[in-house]
Amino acid sequence: MARVLLDGEQVNFEGPPPRTALGTWTLIETFLEQSNLIVDRFLVDGVVWDAESGKDQDCYDTIEVFSMPIAQNLYNTVTGLLEQQNQILELWRDGAQVSLSTPWTVFQSQAMAIFLETQAFVQCVSLLSEYSKNNELTWAKTLMDAGEELNVGLSTAIDAFDSANCIGFSDAAAVEVISGLKRVYQVLSEEVIPSLDYGGNR
């Protein structure tokens, strides 16, 4: 008989357990949300399974779920973003210089790479911002303002890229984007991280 374990303890369902891995995930995720928890790891018969993989499994012997506090997840995410800080800033500083000493046709691909590297960071900040707003966290507004400043800088850089304007790109990179990035990193390190150390809501 199929069984489901949550943090090492067997889950008792009202009725039979869900038949598919996805069904089990959905049920457990909804349950955990009520306690400000999220799914950290989800194993199906000992193998890690990802709900976003698009591949369901309709029979199993054992599903093991390990949870994590949302605050801890946020903490891990923000720490990861801060670890990349120097790398991201260096990318843009380098781009600001190289765009002035390289023919545009050659620099274009480097500019695209910079945008792609930054995209994941921007998406993370956006999700964080959304989460903080929905949960009325203390740092919600400052993060949103910093994110907006960064977005304006990035838009300017994108406009310059689209019009093959190396000067516009260099100015946007050196001033607006780097300023926006630094502001976001500052909020993450001075407000978000300390608040997460104390459990999430302040």
Partner 1 sequence: MKPQTRALAVLRKRFPRLISRLMAGSKSGQTEIDSRSWRSRSKHGGNIVDRWLEGIELKPKTAYALTGFGDGSQIASLLHQLPENSFVFCAESNVDSFLLVVSHDETARLLEDERLFVGVGELDLDFFESLSRFPTLELTDARPLVFAPIYNESPEYYARFFTEFTRAFDYWRKLYGTNVTASAKWQRNTFKNARTLVAAPDIAEIKGAFEGIPIVMVSAGPSLDESLEFVKIHEARCVIVAVNSSYRALRNYGISPHFVIAADPSEYTDKGFDGVSCSRSVLLCPFIVYPNVVSRFHGRILTWSQNNLLASYLRLKVGKCLGSAIEEIGTVSACIFDIAKIFGSPSIVFVGQDLSVKDDGQMHVRDSFYTDLLANHVDIGECRTLPGNLEATVKVEGKLYIYLKAFEKLAEANANELALYNTSHYGVRVEGIPYVSLDEMTRVLDQKSFDNVEVKFRSVEKALSSVGIVDGQLVETLAVLSEFGSMICSLALNASLTLNAALFESTSNLDSHIVLAQNQKRDLVIRMEEDSDLRKVLEDGALKYELALYKRAIQRNSPPSDPLMKRAEDLLEYFWAISEGAFSFCRAIETSEQRDFVE
Establish if 114 lies at the interface with partner 1 (CB under 8 A): no
Of 12 and 101, CB closest to partner 1: 101
User: Per CB under 8 A, which region of 55-63, 94-102, 126-134, 189-197 contacts partner 1?
Assistant: 94-102
CA atoms within a 13 Å half-sphere pointing along the CA-CB vector of 134: 6
Judged by CB under 8 A, does residue 100 bind partner 1? yes
Q: How far is the CB of 142 from partner 1 (least distance, A)?
A: 26
Element (DSSP H or E) covering residue 41: strand 37-44
Binding flag, residue 126, partner 1 (CB under 8 A) = no
- CB of 122 vs partner 1, minimal distance in Å: 23
CA neighbor of 172 nearest in space, from 194, 149, 195, 190: 149
Q: Check binding of 179 to partner 1 (CB under 8 A).
A: no
Report long-range pairs for 134-141 (Cβ below 8 Å, ≥24 apart). Answer: 135/201, 137/195, 137/200, 137/201, 137/202, 138/191, 138/195, 138/201, 138/202, 139/187, 139/191, 139/192, 139/195
Using rule CB under 8 A, residue 134 touches partner 1:
no
| CB closer to partner 1, 70 vs 157 | 157
Separation of alpha carbons 102 and 147, rounded Å: 30
What is the distance between the alpha carbons of residues 128 and 133, in angstroms, rounded to a whole number?
A: 9
| 107 versus 139: smaller Cβ distance to partner 1 | 107
Contact pattern for partner 1 over residues 140 through 169, marking x by CB under 8 A: ------------------------xxxxx-
Q: How many CB atoms within 10 Å of residue 77?
A: 16
94 binds partner 1 (CB under 8 A): yes
Q: Which residues bind partner 1 (CB under 8 A)?
A: 94, 96-105, 107, 164-168, 170-171, 174-175
